[in-house]
């Protein structure tokens, strides 16, 4: 017996263990995937119930476990860190090192002047301050995200309904009541519907243009977000119906929390813009070149500071320090200190121009990034389309054998935008169309609101579209135009025709939509235009007879609609899915008001019309009316005592009530493309830019819209160009990469946020420069990740705007094309002023390299070079930002991300132009000492009466009066004198004779500096065009450049003639003869660049 019991208990224990395991797995599934479990299972898993909810103590415990229902702000870097980050640049670090060394040398030598390091540091600090300001201004995306969160919620706690519980206090397991107009406070599982249907607007999260019907039934565990019909997500809005939900996720665990996390990751993984990439590459090459040149200059002059004597080596410290200073001067000369400021100014100017074109730039480098964008990933809803559902086609009976197709124009909720494509006189006599307008208006719960100069829908977009259609059809018999004009002056939101139609019908009951019968209807009494008319005797008679003669002629009284008191004027107005609604119709209304049987032939014609509209991606709505068999509902006022109450309370009766109806017509509705989008798409294609349409809508609708705006041809095969987001993610990475690669556009339907990010990532991996447009919360991570994020300013959420680099103030896709053109023009101008600045810097470096390499005194001081690079070079370089774009710029292919500012051709131009500048500066510097009467100086340099020296003396100046002078050539050196343009005498004779070659070089240095400045100013006119001659692109074509050249020349003259400035910069005033020489040596730079342009044109 014991053995028997034992053998009996073993399987029992095993079954219990298996049962317990199944329960645990079921509970875990309900917690982790609530959409895949029955509502009761979810409630049980969270240990709550729909009547009592959680008790307060349990809610407090869960609050400690799960935290507050809010999105925490992203931690920000302190200002000091942002400031230090601005110095994380190779060229900036070189300048900092130069300033530090200069300071140490000035201190060690007991000098009191720290001008050079102070100037360098001031410039660097100013640029850093500007950078910090831009960053602080731009980072507001995550804060904006929190504005979408609900503030309060109606929650069941301790068996009572708390009407205004702060949404931050919600915890998983809370039971929440939701109704029309409320935002969903957290991610929730629908438990119970209080109405026949609940519709939630979640386009900002999923991109779907239509509201989503919710149901309590579970779905597959691996369903995507758009298929989770039993789930309501945080920050979406209920637009129809009401129900009870249980909270399943709060805070960062919600879908919107996942989006914030994605934004944060995208921010941390933010890609370098093509401009920054080019500048970084350019800076690295420049820094390497600077290092080599500086070291080379210091080493080749070793004989002046290394003394080889008696088999040993000693160092002449003063000379070693001097040549170290020369190396620092070379570093300062080589680095275009003004380049960051000029680029920032150029981008800011471009930003201003774009703002005038309704493109608001939040991140300066994005201006230039647009110029090399070769892929635009665009959301469909609200970007390519208006996100305002509109009727575009109507089918009504034309006769007993066929349907009449009627077009409707318009793309917004503005009733004056578009019209029904019929003559008014024809519309009056289409009684079935007039009846359809009455049903569209009254079997409708939406309303149109006019706010801040725009019309917007309150309610579902489909019903709003029907409302606007009714207004466009109008109410014959009213002076609509006159009434509408009055409405514009007073209340533009008033729909005159709809108001008239509504005044003729009184709604008594609503038979709400449900999934089974796929329709909704309203019981009304009154007068429905088109179905009833009054004859001359004023007696109202239904137009339901077999012949027109019985009803009398149609007169003015017909259009008044009769009165609301007619005892027989009861209707059931219905709309719904055509396949279901048409099946419950037995008759149809003809244009003349006669009612005829709905034959099989007519049903076939209706089916053909539905196929026609579905092929164009339209959403089809059928409208019908029932006028007889409604006696039971006469006098119904909503009271339970009325005999009809029991029928109306039971939804199973609705299909029976909606039977034996009269078919009125079918309306095709769509989210229409923006009028200007097709032209903008063509411009993008001409510019070599691919368009990727990424939407949450279904595949057929997405393809239809793409064809309508010429993204694809009418008959183009889309097998390799159109894909559902989920199918795309099921491909392996190689297949996904192949799909996005190649030429032509692509369309992705039913896309989720993660799909958009993957697409952007793959495109960037392939070397593309990606712009992502969007307006919803779901777009924010991809906007942040893309090279340039473009948000819609009007329809866009604050989240999208905050994550974007550019905001379109007019929501106009064509504005992107204008911005791309502006970006290309800005890059072209950047090339111009970089070519101008770098060739100028090469001239400075080469001049110093020549003189120092030959053993001459330093031709320029670091302060002089800083002045040239920042003050005299800066204004012309900035003015080049105003150069007009060259013709045909938008017909060129986008430049590649890998393209750098400097290639072999541009380097050759830099070296040629800069080489001439450097040689001219060195020539005038040496010439003043050695050959003042050289004919190349035109007017000559001997007019100041200075003493000349030999070439040996100027190239071996460091040996003068030094311990390493052993050849005896300096014994008779007497120095020299000269006078400046003001008559001041500079005497370097006697004991200070050797200073004639060092401190006395001020005149020669001033001449060289003036040649350098004037050459650069002439060279700025060369930069007006990369290819065109200065004879065709006149200097005055850019008035800003002309003014800046004159201003820069004036600034240079000021440091030559104003005493305090002459002391700071080590300059002396020049005479008229000397200015002639300066101009004679500077002007040929125009000819040098003209020769280079000629070579470029010949090569092309």
Residues of the chain with pLDDT > 90, as a percent, come to 22
Name which of 179, 215, 238 is nearest 516 in CA terms.
Answer: 215
Active site residues: 379
8 A C-beta contact, residue 775 and residue 796: yes
- 467: pLDDT strictly greater than 90: yes
Q: Using 50, 70 and 90 to split pLDDT, how confident is the model at 267?
A: low
Which of the residue ranges 16-20, 240-244, 1082-1086 would you say has the lowest mean pLDDT? 16-20
- 78: pLDDT strictly greater than 80: no
Within 10 angstroms of residue 315's Cβ, the number of other Cβ atoms is: 11
What integer pLDDT is reported at residue 138 of this predicted model? Answer: 43
**pLDDT digits over 377-420, tens only?**
887 877 788 778 899 999 999 999 999 999 999 888 888 888 99
What integer pLDDT is reported at residue 983 of this predicted model? Answer: 82
What integer pLDDT is reported at residue 1053 of this predicted model? Answer: 93
Backbone angles phi, psi at 670, to 5 degrees: -150, 160
Q: Using 50, 70 and 90 to split pLDDT, how confident is the model at 448?
A: confident
**pLDDT digits over 538-567, tens only?**
323 343 333 333 333 323 333 333 333 333
CA distances from 452 to 449, 457, 492, 794 (A): 10, 13, 11, 11
**pLDDT digits over 187-243, tens only?**
999 998 887 778 888 876 776 666 788 889 999 888 888 889 999 998 888 888 889
The stretches of 872-1001 forming alpha helices (DSSP H) are 874-879, 904-930, 951-955
Q: 642 CB contacts (<8 Å, ≥6 apart)?
A: 635, 636
Place of tokens 């001031």: 122
8 A C-beta contact, residue 177 and residue 76: no
CA pair distance 657, 937, nearest whole angstrom:
107
Tokens found for residue 913: 């132009």
Name which of 775, 1083, 823 is nearest 938 in CA terms.
Answer: 1083
CA pair distance 1092, 1027, nearest whole angstrom:
9
Tell me the average pLDDT across 1011-1036: 85
CA pair distance 1005, 1023, nearest whole angstrom:
27
**pLDDT digits over 83-99, tens only?**
787 777 666 777 777 67
CA pair distance 1067, 32, nearest whole angstrom:
78
**Residue 641 burial by CB count (10 A; 0-12/13-18/19+): exposed, middle or buried?**
exposed
Give one DSSP letter per residue of 258-304, joined into a string.
HHHHHHHHHHHTPPPPHHHHHHHHHHHHHHHHHHHHHHHHHHHTGGG
Name which of 707, 756, 576, 687 is nearest 206 in CA terms.
Answer: 756
b/e code 103-142 from CB counts within 10 Å (16+ = b): bebbeeeeeeeebbbebbbebbeebbebbbebbeeebebb
Q: Are strands 198-201 and 187-193 parallel, antiparallel or unpaired?
A: unpaired
CA pair distance 93, 325, nearest whole angstrom:
17
What integer pLDDT is reported at residue 58 of this predicted model? Answer: 92
| Radius of gyration of the chain, Cα coordinates, nearest whole angstrom | 41
Q: Region of 100 please: left (phi>0), alpha (psi -120 to 50) or beta.
A: alpha
| β partners of residue 394 | 406, 667
CA pair distance 1061, 1064, nearest whole angstrom:
5
Place of tokens 């645990």: 24
| β partners of residue 176 | 155, 245
Q: 310: helix, coil or strand?
A: coil
8 A C-beta contact, residue 760 and residue 803: no
Q: Using 50, 70 and 90 to split pLDDT, how confident is the model at 1012?
A: very high
Q: Using 50, 70 and 90 to split pLDDT, how confident is the model at 740?
A: very high
Say what the pTM is: 0.65
Tell me the average pLDDT across 447-454: 80
Tell me the average pLDDT across 1006-1025: 90
CA 132 to chain centre: 22
Tokens found for residue 912: 């040629």
Name which of 895, 921, 937, 1071 is nearest 1010 in CA terms.
Answer: 921
8 A C-beta contact, residue 510 and residue 574: no
8 A C-beta contact, residue 876 and residue 346: no
3-state helix vs strand vs coil in the chain, percent to 5 = 50, 15, 35
- 486: pLDDT strictly greater than 70: no
Tokens found for residue 811: 């929501």
Dihedral Cα 867, 868, 871, 874, nearest 10 deg: -140
**pLDDT digits over 60-74, tens only?**
999 999 999 887 766
CA pair distance 922, 925, nearest whole angstrom:
5
Which of the residue ranges 297-301, 494-498, 783-787, 819-823 would you say has the lowest mean pLDDT? 297-301
Q: Using 50, 70 and 90 to split pLDDT, how confident is the model at 608?
A: very high
The stretches of 33-114 forming alpha helices (DSSP H) are 39-45, 56-66, 79-85, 90-108
| 813-853 helix and 904-930 helix, angle to the nearest 10 degrees | 40
What integer pLDDT is reported at residue 170 of this predicted model? Answer: 93
Tokens found for residue 910: 């830099």
Name which of 560, 529, 555 is nearest 543 in CA terms.
Answer: 529
Q: Indicate the average pLDDT of the chain.
A: 79
Which run of H or of E encompasses 369?
helix 365-371
- 626: pLDDT strictly greater than 60: yes
| β partners of residue 662 | 587, 625
Q: 185 CB contacts (<8 Å, ≥6 apart)?
A: 69, 149, 150, 152, 153, 167, 170, 176, 234, 247
CA 513 to chain centre: 39
**pLDDT digits over 315-348, tens only?**
767 777 767 777 776 666 667 766 666 676 677 7
Q: 285 CB contacts (<8 Å, ≥6 apart)?
A: 902
Tokens found for residue 379: 């959301």
Give the max Cα distance, the chain. 139
What integer pLDDT is reported at residue 561 of this predicted model? Answer: 35
- 655: pLDDT strictly greater than 70: yes
Q: 572: helix, coil or strand?
A: strand
Tokens found for residue 389: 């559902």
Tokens found for residue 107: 């201190």
Q: 622: helix, coil or strand?
A: strand
What integer pLDDT is reported at residue 841 of this predicted model? Answer: 81
Tell me the average pLDDT across 921-925: 93
Within 10 angstroms of residue 316's Cβ, the number of other Cβ atoms is: 16
- 266: pLDDT strictly greater than 50: yes
Name which of 785, 793, 832, 784 is nearest 816 in CA terms.
Answer: 793
């Amino acid at each position: 017996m014991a053995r028997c019991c034992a053998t009996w208990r073993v399987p029992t224990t095993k079954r219990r263990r298996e049962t317990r395991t199944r329960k645990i797995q079921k509970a875990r599934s309900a917690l982790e995937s609530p959409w895949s479990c029955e509502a009761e299972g979810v409630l049980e898993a969270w240990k709550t119930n729909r009547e009592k909810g959680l008790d307060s103590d349990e809610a407090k415990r869960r609050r400690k476990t799960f935290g507050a229902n809010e999105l925490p702000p992203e931690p920000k870097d302190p200002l000091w860190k942002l400031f230090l980050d601005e110095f994380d640049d190779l060229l900036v670090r070189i300048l900092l090192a130069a300033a530090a060394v200069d300071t140490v040398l000035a201190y060690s030598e007991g000098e009191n002047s720290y001008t050079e390091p102070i100037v360098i540091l001031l410039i660097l600090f100013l640029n850093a301050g500007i950078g910090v300001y831009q960053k602080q201004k731009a980072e507001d995306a995550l804060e904006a995200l929190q504005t979408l969160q609900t503030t309060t919620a109606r929650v069941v706690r301790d068996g009572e309904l708390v009407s205004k519980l702060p949404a931050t206090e919600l915890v998983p397991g809370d039971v929440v009541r939701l109704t029309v107009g409320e935002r969903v406070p957290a991610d929730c599982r629908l438990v119970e519907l209080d109405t026949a249907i609940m519709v939630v607007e979640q386009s900002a999260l999923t991109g779907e243009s239509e509201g989503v019907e919710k149901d309590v039934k579970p779905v597959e565990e691996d369903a995507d977000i758009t298929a989770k019909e039993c789930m309501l997500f945080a920050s979406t809005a209920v637009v129809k119906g009401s129900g009870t939900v249980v909270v399943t996720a709060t805070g960062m665990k919600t879908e919107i929390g996942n989006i914030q996390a994605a934004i944060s990751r995208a921010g941390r993984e933010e890609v370098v813009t093509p401009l920054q990439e080019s500048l970084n590459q350019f800076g690295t090459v420049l820094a390497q070149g600077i290092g080599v040149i500086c070291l080379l200059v210091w080493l080749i002059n070793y004989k002046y500071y290394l003394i080889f004597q008696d088999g040993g080596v000693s160092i002449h410290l003063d000379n070693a320090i001097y040549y170290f200073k020369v190396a620092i001067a070379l570093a300062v000369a080589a680095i275009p200190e003004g380049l960051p400021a000029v680029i920032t100014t150029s981008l800011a100017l471009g930003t201003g121009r774009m703002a005038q074109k309704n493109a608001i730039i939040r991140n300066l480098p994005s201006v230039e990034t647009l110029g090399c964008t070769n892929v635009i990933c665009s959301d469909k809803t609200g970007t390519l389309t208006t996100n305002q559902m509109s009727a575009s086609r109507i089918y009504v009976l034309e006769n007993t054998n066929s349907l009449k197709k009627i077009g409707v124009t318009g793309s917004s909720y503005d009733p004056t935008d578009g019209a029904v494509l019929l003559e008014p006189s024809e519309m009056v006599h289409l009684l079935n169309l007039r009846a359809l307008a009455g049903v569209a208006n009254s079997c409708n719960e939406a309303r149109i609101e006019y706010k801040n100069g725009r019309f917007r829908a309150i309610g579902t977009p489909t019903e709003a579209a029907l409302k606007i259609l009714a207004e466009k059809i109008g109410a014959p018999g009213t002076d609509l135009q006159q009434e509408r004009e009055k409405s514009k002056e007073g209340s533009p939101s008033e729909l005159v025709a709809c108001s008239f139609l509504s005044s003729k019908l009184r709604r008594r009951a609503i038979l709400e939509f449900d999934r089974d019968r796929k329709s909704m209807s309203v019981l009304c009494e009154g007068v429905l235009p088109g179905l009833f008319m009054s004859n001359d005797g004023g007696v109202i008679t239904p137009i339901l007879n077999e012949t027109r003669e019985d009803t009398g002629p149609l007169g003015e009284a017909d259009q008044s609609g009769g009165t609301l008191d007619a005892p027989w004027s009861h209707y059931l107005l219905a709309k719904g899915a055509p396949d279901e609604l048409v099946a419950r119709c037995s008759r149809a209304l003809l244009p003349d008001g006669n009612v005829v049987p709905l034959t099989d032939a007519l049903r076939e014609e209706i089916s053909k019309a539905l196929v026609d509209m579905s092929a164009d991606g339209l959403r089809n709505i059928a409208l019908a009316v029932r006028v007889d068999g409604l006696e039971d509902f006469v006098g119904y006022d909503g009271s339970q005592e009325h005999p009809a109450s029991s029928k109306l309370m039971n939804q199973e009766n609705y299909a029976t009530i909606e039977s034996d109806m009269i078919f009125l017509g079918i309306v095709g509705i769509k989210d229409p493309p923006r009028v200007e989008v097709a032209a903008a798409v063509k411009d993008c294609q001409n510019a070599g830019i691919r368009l990727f349409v990424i939407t949450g809508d279904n595949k057929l609708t997405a393809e239809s819209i793409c064809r309508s705006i010429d993204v694809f041809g009418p008959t183009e095969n889309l097998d390799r160009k159109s894909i559902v987001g989920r199918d795309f993610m099921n491909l392996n990475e190689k297949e996904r990469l192949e799909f996005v690669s190649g030429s032509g556009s692509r369309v992705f339907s039913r896309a989720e946020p993660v799909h958009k990010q993957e697409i952007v990532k793959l495109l960037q991996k392939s070397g593309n420069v990606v712009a992502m447009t969007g307006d919803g919360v779901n777009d924010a991570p991809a906007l942040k990740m893309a090279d340039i994020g473009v948000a819609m300013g009007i329809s866009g959420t604050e989240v999208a705007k905050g994550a974007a680099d550019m905001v379109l103030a007019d929501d106009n896709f064509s504005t992107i094309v204008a911005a791309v053109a502006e970006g290309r023009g800005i890059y072209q101008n950047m090339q111009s002023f970089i070519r101008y600045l770098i060739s100028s810097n090469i001239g400075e470096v080469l001049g110093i390299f020549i003189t120092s390499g030959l053993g001459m005194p330093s031709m320029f001081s670091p302060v002089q070079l800083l002045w040239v690079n920042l003050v005299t070079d800066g204004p012309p370089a900035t003015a080049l930002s105003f150069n007009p774009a060259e013709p045909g710029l938008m017909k060129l292919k986008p430049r590649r991300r890998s393209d750098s500012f400097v290639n072999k051709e541009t380097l050759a131009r830099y070296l040629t132009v800069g080489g001439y500048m450097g040689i001219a500066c060195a020539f005038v510097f040496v010439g003043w000492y050695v050959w003042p009467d050289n004919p190349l100086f035109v007017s000559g340099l001997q007019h100041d009466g200075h003493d000349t020296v030999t070439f040996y003396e100027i190239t071996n100046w460091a040996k003068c009066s030094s311990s390493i002078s052993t050849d005896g050539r300096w014994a008779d050196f007497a120095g020299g004198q000269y006078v400046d343009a003001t008559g001041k005498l500079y005497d370097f004779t006697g004991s200070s004779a050797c200073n004639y070659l060092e401190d006395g070089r001020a005149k020669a240095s001033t001449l060289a500096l003036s040649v350098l400045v004037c050459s650069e100013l002439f060279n700025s006119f060369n930069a007006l065009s990369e290819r065109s001659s200065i004879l065709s692109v006149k200097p005055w074509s850019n008035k800003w450049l002309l003014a800046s050249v004159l201003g820069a020349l004036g600034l240079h003259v000021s440091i030559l003639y104003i005493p305090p400035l002459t002391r700071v910069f080590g300059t002396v005033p020049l005479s008229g003869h000397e200015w002639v020489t300066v101009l004679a040596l500077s002007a040929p730079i125009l000819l040098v660049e003209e020769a280079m342009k000629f070579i470029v044109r010949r090569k092309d």
